[in-house]
Amino acid sequence: MMRVIVGAPRPPLGLRCPAPGSLRAHVGAALTSRARAALAAPLLLLAACAPSLGEPAWLVTGPQILALVGDAPEVSPGGSTTYRALAVSPSGPLELSAATWAPCTSPLPLTETGTVAQACLGALPPAGQGAAAQLATSSDACAIFGPLPPSTGARPRDPDASGGYYQPMRLDGRAAGAALAFAMERVLCPLAQASFAVASQYRATYAVNTNPRISSLAFIDLNGNSISETQISKNESAFLSLSWTADSNESFPALDEASLTLVEQQETMRVSWFATGGTLAASQSAAAGGATSARVGWSAPAQSGTVYLWAVLRDSRGGQAWSQLLAQVSDR
């Protein structure tokens, strides 16, 4: 089975199918486990498909799952949250009534490269069905996926760059022609290698992550003026602009491994862009330093009709949000 990552940097030409046998072929087999974990969250798609070297990564050409968003992007071990899928097709939203959900309780073995264990791709007991479902993390998730010593005697897991640990939550969208998709639920675990004083300070100051909040998704011109999505002309050029609230850029303490002290970090944001038509200038935009907006160039198609556009906003601790825009392209 060929595998595809959504949520990590993607090839500029839209090569959506890495070589068989590797979950992260397009990222590189030489990544450390820490780097792999940092790139893993929050969504992994697994699909059987044919390479499309000339196909842009942002273009929706078939059934596709763009995001799995949990109401609570970070929970304590044993905690649950409701997940909702952003599933799309070239004609708009995709029906997922037959899709099934399941948490995966198998950690990634050290003998495997990738983001989720091969065992997560096999038969899993279903825990929900449809476009949304409530899923629970394992009560011992910090031992299976985190820094606590596992009962199997295996080595504890490394955190990602933000200090996080994640349990895979699977959506099987193949009945709708889509793919297997994994959300990576962040699990609140104790600090590894921290002194009692530092661990106590961390517990007192760390706030669990929340999803970013989108303010608007709209078309604007070169001068920043709004353009109505119902009055787009064929071949017209504009910017697709996404804005989010300032409090979406959360700060949090993280353990500095060199000094074993806490340092304050601020979340960075990344936007993934998608469209069913026209031409987007890029598939992703990064936003750091407390920025509250991002934009990408878009050219309307040469034919009149309806174009769906989506923006998926992700923070560096696994929080997500999305917005949809429906453009009416006319002959005027």
Question: What average pLDDT score do residues 274-291 get?
Answer: 95
The per-residue pLDDT for 24 is 27
Q: Give yes or no for residue 47 having a pLDDT over 60.
A: no
pLDDT in tens, 240-250: 999 999 999 99
Q: Give yes or no for residue 267 having a pLDDT over 80.
A: yes
> How far lies 65's CA from each of 215, 301, 310, in Å?
23, 24, 12
Q: How far, in Å, CA of 319 to CA of 315, rounded? A: 5
The per-residue pLDDT for 209 is 97
CB 44 within 8 A of CB 288: no
Q: Give yes or no for residue 14 having a pLDDT over 50.
A: no
Judge if the upstream peptide bond of residue 42 is cis by omega within 30 degrees of 0: yes
Q: Report the Cα–Cα distance between both ends of the chain, in Å, rounded.
A: 46
CATH topology of domain 214-330: Immunoglobulin-like (2.60.40)
> What's the pTM?
0.84
Share of the chain above pLDDT 90, in %: 73
Domain with CATH 2.60.40.10 in the chain: 214-330
pLDDT in tens, 101-137: 999 999 988 888 888 999 999 999 999 999 999 999 9
Least confident of 20-24, 210-214, 217-221: 20-24
pLDDT in tens, 150-198: 777 667 888 999 999 999 999 999 999 998 999 999 999 999 889 999 9
